[in-house]
Amino acid sequence: MRKIYFILLVIGFGFSPNYGQPTFEYISSLPSGINVLEIDTNGTIWAGTYYNGGFFSEDTGKTWQQIDLAPDELDITAIGFNNEDEIFIGTDKGSLFRANIVDRNFIKTNFQGRGIESIAINSNGNVFVGNLEDGIFRATNNGNDWELIFDATSNSKYGIWKLFIEQNGVILAGSECGLFRTADSGESWTFIESFNCGDITAFAESGNGNIYMGGADRFGGIYKSKDSGLTWQLITGVDFNFETFDIEISNEGQIFASTRNQYASGLIYSNENEDTVWTSANSGFPYPGSSRYLAFHPNGKLFVSYWADIYQSTVTDTILDTVFIPMPVFYSLKQNFPNPFYKGVNGNISTTIPYSIAEPGFVEIKIFDILGNEISVLTSEDETAGKHFIDFYADEKLSSGIYIYAIRVNDFFDSRKMIILK
């Protein structure tokens, strides 16, 4: 049984603002430019293109399969996930599709708006869809019935580019001319600031609750909020030619932004503790300036779309010589990956379970069948605080089906489902 502690996770990242230069390597290409890139809890990568529809990869981007939507739905513009392992995919034609992330049998919802720009789903399962022509729609029954809760038809400058839900449930709506905020699931909206009437196109939130926001067309840089979006501070210096396509933050507070301006272009990075200092992270890309959309994989690597190409972060020699063990601020049990996983010599015979413990303690992780019968004890020992991985190898006697894995440490208990397939 293999157990990996967090020091190896840092090596897997291959980058840190304080501990070495980020580098990236080419993985594969899709038929046309990538419009959206997301990764689900199972580690499946989902990509939407401009002209060739949607694709997914179950092997970290090495090979891709076409998403089966509709023959004429070839411009994929938005992707979102709920807490029930379902994916929502929006198109430029205003169609919204839904499926389970495992079986991927997509059905078209009853959404009746125009071209979709953004999808956000809160912890209650309410689905929010934003677009430039109509505003913001909400569905409280998994996308079956919709209501317009933010009307942009009377003022086109408030068309919606990006929706974001922070950890306390506050919704931020980035428009063509300013930021709007709601703390009651869209019943009422507050206008925060115009931000020079620039397009607000990117949000990300750190584990400490800091929100970072970027945009284009005179937006002026990258902003930071410490109070759930009520007030904002410009942290990159004013540059009205500065465009931000996407922002992602690692669990360790490393901030990455794909940008473009008149002086320099491409991927830049910083650290949450020093987020006024930004450094280029274009090592491995053929030309700066073409990186667009970002997503972290459960394995810790950052995936980057580069027009139609997919790149991932790789290891640097500097990182290999570095000991860096930040402690998490909470307990957690993450989704195993891959999931489902396959038995036999022609498929995966093991899956990896990530977990975090905030304080040292006696850790038990067990596997149960769906009836609650104990199948295996993965660990039962004292462990240090930090982030950990542990592998589960499927016994050949186990049948295909749903299994439960559970963790107990100190006063913390949690469990999740995983699927074994033959």
Name the token pair of 393.
Answer: 């190898």
222 with 344, same domain: the answer is: no
298 with 343, same domain: the answer is: no
In a domain, 6, yes or no: no
301 with 340, same domain: the answer is: no
Q: Is the pLDDT of residue 119 over 70?
A: yes
State the DSSP code for 251.
T
Model pLDDT for residues 264-303, shown as the tens digit of each residue: 568 888 888 888 888 888 888 887 667 889 999 988 899 9
State the DSSP code for 103.
T
Measured CA to CA, the distance from residue 54 to residue 47 in angstroms comes to 6
Instruction: Compute the average pLDDT of residues 141-155.
Output: 90
In a domain, 327, yes or no: no
Model pLDDT for residues 166-216, shown as the tens digit of each residue: 999 999 999 999 999 999 999 999 999 999 888 999 999 998 899 999 998
Q: Is the pLDDT of residue 247 over 80?
A: yes
Long-range contacts at 345-352 (CB < 8 A, ≥ 24 apart): 347/421, 349/393, 349/394, 350/391, 350/392, 350/393, 350/394, 351/391, 351/392, 351/394, 351/418, 352/389, 352/390, 352/391, 352/392
Task: Output the pTM of the full model.
Answer: 0.72
Q: How is 48-74 classified by DSSP, letter by letter?
A: EESSS-EEEESSTTSS-EE--S-TT--
Q: Which among 176, 239, 294 is positioned nearest to 223, based on CA atoms?
A: 239
Residue 338 Cα distances to 45, 85, 283, angstroms: 12, 14, 29
Q: Report the CATH number that the domain containing residue 362 is assigned in CATH.
A: 2.60.40.1930
Domain end residue (candidates: 268, 286, 320): 320
Confidence class for position 98, pLDDT limits 50, 70, 90: very high
Domain end residue (candidates: 274, 290, 320): 320
Q: Is the pLDDT of residue 320 over 50?
A: no
Higher-scoring residue by pLDDT: 291, 89: 89
pLDDT of residue 17: 37
287 with 350, same domain: the answer is: no
Domain end residue (candidates: 288, 320, 352): 320
351 with 295, same domain: the answer is: no
68 with 158, same domain: the answer is: yes
Is residue 94 a contact partner of residue 85, using CB atoms and an 8 Å limit?
no
360 with 214, same domain: the answer is: no
290 with 151, same domain: the answer is: yes
140 with 233, same domain: the answer is: yes
